[in-house]
Structure 1
Amino acid sequence: MRSAVAAPRSTPTTRGFRSWRPAPARRTRARSGLRRRPIRGLPPAERLAARRRRTRPLVRALRPQLMRQANGLSRHADIAKAFAYGNQRWRAFNRFLYDGQLEPDNLIAERAIRGFTVGRRNWLFSGNFATAERSAVVLSIIETCKLCGVDAEAYMGRCHRAHPERLASLALG
């Protein structure tokens, strides 16, 4: 096993300023117990219990730390503005700690629209605005089907058989 050598917290630089360098890590993530089962995907009741146990203490410790850090900054600094933004919306930020159905981020929605953002460049070659609009409608139906676990091709076929005039109007503009 490799031993960790203690390095100074700061070292002098050529101009006389002191730069900060973090001390070497003494424990790996796996040994420190930080690798835990993910909360995402659990039923809401279990997710809420896990958040109360694991996440709430971290979030409670975060706010005083942010306030301490913000005290020494100019209010015009970008990081101070970011701290103020978070402080003003602190209650909304904490809602996921009290409701197991809420997610702390919008990762699911971002993954769902990834296909749109990749396809955006292709929409430039749609020919005209109406064609690009129809492409967006079709892609949104496909992505919604994916999110709901529905076979998009079968769904579009059923829609076409049930309402052929709507699909024709969509194709013609």
Structure 2
Amino acid sequence: MAVSGTEKNGVNTEDEHLNNSLSNPGLISPDKEDMTRLLTVPFSGRIRGGMKPGKKIIVMGIVDPDPESFCISLTCGRGSEAGPPPDVALELCACFADRQFLRRACVSGVWGEEEAAIAYFPFIQDQPFRIEVHCEHQRFRVFVDGHQLFDFYHRVASLLTIDTVTIRGSLQITKLG
């Protein structure tokens, strides 16, 4: 995936991969002019065709100057306020107060135990980052700025049902693919 491209308001608008892998059905016309709207936090977008081994999600962004936390979730559907929450195949949460990068899953409405141990906390306030979530047959492999941080073994039964990515918290998204 190319890092360079045309910039509009500090956001790379040249990456066509966004339209090929993620879309936001709430947008009427997700063309290049609407990319800035696509990357607004909180963000929710579809993963076309669901997850499968060999597929990866890339989130590039900048941590806010005075961050509390941010979370990236891969879910099975969007859920609704009226119904039960969707299964969450992987939720990654960067917590700045205690310098933890937590991960967990929610299956059938029950949250599993948080995994927290990592060698170092890779995020710095007001600095850019790149998170890659690689889907493999038995696990997600998570990289930050090119360094493998951890593996997270699948909890959901079918990878293809993982069809939504949501991002919220103390960050700006600069590129998503």
TM-score range, shorter chain: under 0.3
Q: Greater relative contact order: 1 or 2 (C-alpha under 8 angstroms, separation 6 or more)?
A: 2
Compare the two structures and name the one with the higher helix fraction. Answer: 1
TM-score, normalising length from structure 2? 0.20
Compare the two structures and name the one with the higher strand fraction. Answer: 2
Q: Larger C-alpha radius of gyration, 1 or 2?
A: 1
